[in-house]
Structure 1
Amino acid sequence: MNLGMILFIFLFLFSMLTFVFGLNFMIMDLIYFIEYNIFSLNSCSIVMTILLDWKSLFFMSTVLFISSFIMYYSKNYMFNELMFNRFIFLMLMFVFSMILLIISPNLISILLGWDGLGLISYCLVIYYQNLKSFNAGMITVLSNRVGDVALLMSIAWMLNYGSWNYIFYLDFMMNDNIMMLITLFIFFASFTKSAQIPFSSWLPAAMAAPTPVSSLVHSSTLVTAGVYLLIRFENLFHNMEFKFWFLLFTSLTMFMAGLSANFEFDLKKIIALSTLSQLGMMLSILFLGFKELAFFHLLMHAFFKALLFMCAGILIHSMFDLQDIRMMGSVCTQMPLVSICFNFSNLALCGFPFLSGFYSKDLILEFMFMLNFNVFIVFILIISSLFTVSYTFRLIFFLMIGNSKMFSLNMLSDSFSELNKSLFGLIIMVIFSGSFMSWILFPFPLMVCLPISLKLIPLMLIFGGVFMGYYFYYLSLKIFYIKFYKFIMFFSSMWFLPIISTFGMVKNFMLFSKMLMIYGDQEWTEFYLGQGYLFYLNKISSLIDLLYFYFNNIINLMLIFIFVMFILI
């Protein structure tokens, strides 16, 4: 039994245990706040704090459940990897960093988990050591460092309260100016980690990582850390005047990601953009005041997105590392089991009735209609949901229905039995988790009373999205893409955000820091403080050595003179 199998068993059992504890905590309405004194020095105590409630336990159970099947998947997907144990340990450290962030009510321990996620994600993105991976890793780590600085600033401002346990101040400090400033920093940090506009470009770039890493990162760990932190801080932005602007940014992120995915041809990037779209939906409903609904969609999204990436990994693995969907087709006839899992997860992403995504997305749309909110936000949400169905069915048309454009001698088959076994646990959750988790999280019956026209909108979005997806599929086969190349380029490149963030932001910041280094650190400051200070210290030390030498010789001569005079006398 190798390391991957041992970790699969351990993580799976641990996830079942935490789920049972989460049920118990929810039924008994329990919250455990644990403080462990690591060491004390005089009056200073270093304390590790842990918060256990039903939210943290359910989310931790989801992360561990998905991680266990990804470990089993990695055991076979990376079977010819020379440094397999190193890869598994990196994945394990990634999961533990996320768990540390989940159970932390303290901004210091949150920063440890937050930076652990950022650092290990960089190590995993550059795992295949080539130029593309290096560039993707740099844009990922530099974008996330912006959020880390915001989190450090919020830690500094928390000193005004005498403790970093933010959980104590969420209720009675809501209108305090300092807490409002801290909340703004938390917003900023969460937006970078969840890749909202204008920090969206790193998320598709992170696809340079191995597929098991993508499956873990885009389902339940790195990108959801910002959403989870905002769910914890949700009490603080009820009365914020600028909450609408954050809602606008998240809605535009959802719209932009859905539009870009309809013009993208890279299989993994399409799924990455769908993650970005769903993150925008979670944060939008969170800013409207429904944190339980955002948390519910967070859990549902984790299951079907992990399965979607795992199926995509098997397809890419079978097609000799080919990721262009224009070269694929008729996969369902040669890989029926993987195709079934892929289509189920895709339909759950669309919100197809009675799959896991339906229970959360349908509720989100209906709650939005009940609020009588800004018509622009409602329009953006409906169009974004339409785009979600559209790029999903466009992907299905390319992969399943279109003709195969690969060479006739290929390795498409369901013979990867060990890889296929890792899909079974997640396909069960994709089909059944929506219903039983909705019974658990919403134990009292909810009646959403809406006109029949609004009730039918989710169903109409699915049918309309199917036709739109076919239209995009049909256009991509024609000369349309060549005629309107500039428009297609604008839409497919996320409104030029990758170019702006790499050449506009990162490159200019790098040049500015290089200029500061040349004209600041290496000029007068270096002359008087750095190397200059060392130069003068060397000169002074040499002078002292010289004086000591002469002084020592003079003393010796005087002693000899005194000794000679004493003998003569």
Structure 2
Amino acid sequence: MNNISICFISFLFLMMISLMSFIFGLNFLVMDLVIFIEWEVLTLNSVSIMMTLLFDWISLLFMSFVLFISSMVIYYSSEYMQEDYNINRFILLVLMFVLSMMLLIISPNLISILLGWDGLGLVSYCLVIYFQNVKSFNAGMLTALSNRIGDVALLLAIAWMMNYGSWNYVFYLEMMKSDFEMMLIGALVVLAAMTKSAQIPFSSWLPAAMAAPTPVSALVHSSTLVTAGVYLLIRFNILLESSYLGQFMLLISGLTMFMAGLGANFEFDLKKIIALSTLSQLGLMMSILSMGFYKLAFFHLLTHALFKALLFMCAGAIIHNMKNNQDIRMMGGLVSQMPLTSACLNLANLALCGMPFLAGFYSKDLILEIVMLSNSNMFSFFLYFFSTGLTVCYSFRLVYYSLTGEFNSGSLHPMNDEGKIMLRGMMGLLIMAIIGGSLLSWLMFPTPDMICLSMYLKMLTLIICIVGGFSGYLISNISLKFFNKSLSYYKASYFMGSMWNMSILSTLSIIYYPLYVGKKIYDNMDQGWSEQLGAQYMYMNFMSGALLNQLLQNNNLKIYLLSFVLWFIMLLILSVY
């Protein structure tokens, strides 16, 4: 069986399950059904270890979207990765990744969540180091070690929940708001979600994970790995309602959104710009979730997954045709070279910006209007709207650099739109990026809520988007003067462009210093004091005693005479006393 047929079978299988899951999800949503399945695996010290599955409209709809995007990505990979000798291994890794995500989605139990959570971490490491060079290895190590912090937090939460007799957190959610111990478990879960969804100070692994193949980026950064933390907090949403945890998360996620939007405006790597845009949208989801609107966060999670996967697939098609060049300054004029791919990229970008009647508009506009309506402070209000403006700014900057103007690469180039399989994969997501937002809004919010705002506030989102887009185009258009000016303030530009020095700090704090301190402890304790006063000390004493014993037992006249003299002296001393 050849590689393309394996990809095609995987694509059909995932698409079929996705459709089934979507139909069941709609049924559960309309009928307001929840199915809870429990299977007792083991009873330990009055604690039952259960394998639990939770099927409700949230889990089924999310599963449906993850499987749909995965099927499109696998179909797309059959052409994108066709030169790879190990494409079967790649497809198997992607399928394992999707399976881990499924386990995470349908688990209301912290033990089975940990299985899916760790599965995501392990397989993501294998996928990030897939190209096997130094950059990939470093990125993989940063990704794995950053996520291990969250894994440890989840393990501590599991250990603490033993006090309650069960790991099914759904039974304790109401109690968590009042009980201090449960708030502690909640704080550990929030820490785990912060690492997986790359909130400050764990943000640097997300752009570093771009070392993975582009189809993996399309999957990881749209609907699987980075959204796992948001999904977990959607399940624990009661914890964040009117609590200190919610206020803390609102601040952190708002700053993450702002930082990522600012950093993307200084970036020239195509994939890293899109990665930073993912980080910005994750901040948006987390911040609206912190304010207690979990349905809105879930709505944006689903719509964002559609256009972000399309954005990565378009970027992959461009990189594939540019012979693996990712610098947007080397592109330009792609509209005339790759018109269909450019149209898809433009559409996905407009959906990201919240262009009216595309997928992103329905969720982003609703979120920003709810923020205006709610009782939030001025700082949060500023972070929301300024970050939205920055999103439009870097999107238009990306369009200006890559799609318009003159073609900046070599004259002999293979740019074309002839990748039929890649284009078909993109078309499936293109349709959903257009109709997905309205479809979901009709399904999830069948009864319209009244949002009563003044005309100026109602138009504020649109004005911010227009100003942001115009600024992005203007800054790019006069880029030489702008960058000469920015080089005059090099430290400030470097600080903003390097995610507020987070990549340096997290590399030092997560990889370098812990390993350095570990080596020193190993040298001084395990190989030092502990050896000299512990096992080695006993070994040396036993060895010297054994050597003396062996010496005494040798058949040597001198030793006999010496021992006789010593024995005689000892007798004399005893007789005197």
Whether the TM-score (by the shorter chain) exceeds 0.5 is: yes
8 Å CA contact 2:48–2:165 kept in 1: the answer is no
CA distance in 2, matches of 1:498, 1:177: 34
**What CA deviation, in whole Å up to 9, does each residue of 1:211-256 have, x standing for no partner?**
0111110000000000000010011222423432221111000000
Rate the CA distance shift 1:116–1:354 in 2: closer, same or farther, 3 A: same
Range with bigger deviation, 358-367 or 33-42: 33-42
The 5-angstrom pairing of residues 187-266 of structure 1 reads 187-266=190-269
Deviation at 1:44, TM superposition (A): 7.6
What is the rounded CA distance, in whole Å, between the counterparts of 2:448 and 2:351 in structure 1? 23
User: In structure 2, do the counterparts of structure 1 residues 543 and 208 end up closer, same or farther at CA, with 3 Å as the change threshold?
Assistant: farther
Bigger mean CA offset, 166-175 vs 147-156: 166-175
Q: AA paired with 2:490? A: Y
In structure 1, what is the Cα distance between the partners aligned to 2:326 and 2:125?
22
CA apart distance, 1:124? 0.6
- Residue 495 of structure 1 aligns to a residue whose secondary structure is coil
Counterpart among 386, 392, 397 of residue 383 in structure 1: 386
SS in 1 for 2:493: helix
1:366-405 equivalences in 2 (<5 Å): 366-405=369-408
Q: Match for residue 47 of structure 1?
A: 50
CA separation in 1, counterparts of 2:10 and 2:344?
24
Structure 2 residue 24 is matched with structure 1 residue 5:
no
Q: Given residue 491 of structure 1, which amino acid in structure 2 is its aligned partner? A: M
- The residue that corresponds to 1:437 in the other structure is 440
The equivalent of 2:521 in structure 1 is 516
Distance 1:458 1:261 in 2: 20
Does the aligned pair in 2 maintain the 1:140–1:206 contact within 8 Å? yes
Q: Call closer, same or farther: CA 1:538–1:371 in 2, change over 3 Å.
A: farther
Q: What is the CA–CA distance in structure 2 between the aligned matches of 1:435 and 1:291, rounded to whole Å? A: 18
Question: 1:122-521 residue pairs with structure 2 within 5 A?
Answer: 122-478=125-481, 479-521=484-526
The answer for unaligned runs of 5 or more in structure 1 is 546-569
Is contact 1:35–1:47 with CA below 8 Å preserved after alignment? yes
Identify which of 21, 25, 39 aligns with 2:24. 21
Q: In percent, how many aligned pairs have the same letter?
A: 57
CA deviation string 1:148-183 (max 9, x = no partner):
111111111111101011011012342001100000
Task: Name the CA distance, whole Å, in 1 between partners of 2:64 and 2:411.
Answer: 44
Contact 2:176 2:186 in 1 (8 A): no
Q: Following the alignment from structure 2 to structure 1, what is the Cα–Cα distance between the partners of residues 469 and 158?
A: 48
Structure 1 counterpart of 2:557: none
- Name the aligned partner's letter for residue 512 of structure 2: K
Task: Report the AA paired with residue 304 of structure 1.
Answer: F
Structure 2 equivalent of residue 106 of structure 1: 109
In the alignment of these two chains, the number of paired residues is 546
Go from structure 1 to structure 2 and tell me whether the alpha carbon gap of 1:301 and 1:533 turns closer, same or farther (over 3 Å shift). farther
The amino acid of 1:25's aligned partner reads: F
RMSD, aligned α-carbons:
2.2
CA distance in 2, matches of 1:531, 1:210: 50
Q: Are residues 5 and 534 of structure 1, via their aligned partners in 2, closer, same or farther at CA, if it must alter by over 3 Å?
A: farther
Structure-2 separation of matches of 1:230 and 1:299: 15
Following superposition, the deviation at residue 135 of structure 1 comes to: 0.7
Query: Partner amino acid for 1:232?
Result: R
Cα deviation for residue 525 of structure 1 reads 2.5
SS for the counterpart of 1:198 is coil
CA deviations on 1:469-522 (whole Å, 9 max, x unpaired) are 012213433433433332221111001110111124431122111111111222
3-state SS of 1:372 partner: coil
Give the alignment's TM-score, normalised by structure 2.
Answer: 0.91
Out of 41, 64, 67, the position equivalent to 2:67 is 64
The range that moved more, 239-248 or 249-258, is 239-248
* Residue identity in the other structure for 2:53: I
Contact 1:194 1:226 in 2 (8 A): yes
Q: Please list the CA deviations of residues 79-124 of structure 1 after superposition, one character each: whole Å capped at 9, or x if unmatched.
A: 0111111111111111110110000011011111111111111111
Deviates more, 1:34-43 or 1:16-25: 34-43
Q: How many angstroms apart in 2 are the aligned matches of 1:289 and 1:389?
A: 26
User: Contact between 1:34 and 1:49, CA under 8 Å: does it hold in 2?
Assistant: yes
2:558 alignment counterpart: none
Give the CA deviation at 1:36: 2.3
Contact residue 475 and residue 481 of structure 1 kept, 8 A = no
Structure 1's 44 and 544: CA in aligned 2 closer, same or farther, altered over 3 A? farther
Structure 1 residues 96, 542: CA separation in 2 closer, same or farther (over 3 Å shift)? Answer: farther
Contact 2:22 / 2:61 at 8 angstroms: preserved in 1? yes
Q: 1:482 to 1:82 in 2, by over 3 A?
A: same
Calculate the TM-score normalised by the size of structure 1: 0.92
Contact 1:219 1:302 in 2 (8 A): yes
**1:557: which partner in 2?**
none
Letter matched to residue 359 of structure 2: S
Separation in structure 1 between the aligned mates of residue 45 and residue 485 of structure 2, nearest angstrom: 74
> Once the two structures are superposed, what CA deviation does each residue of 1:418-455 show, in whole Å capped at 9, x if it has no partner?
11111111000000010010010101012211000011
Partners in 2 of 1:309 and 1:426 — Cα distance? Answer: 11
**Number of the residue aligned with 2:87:** 84
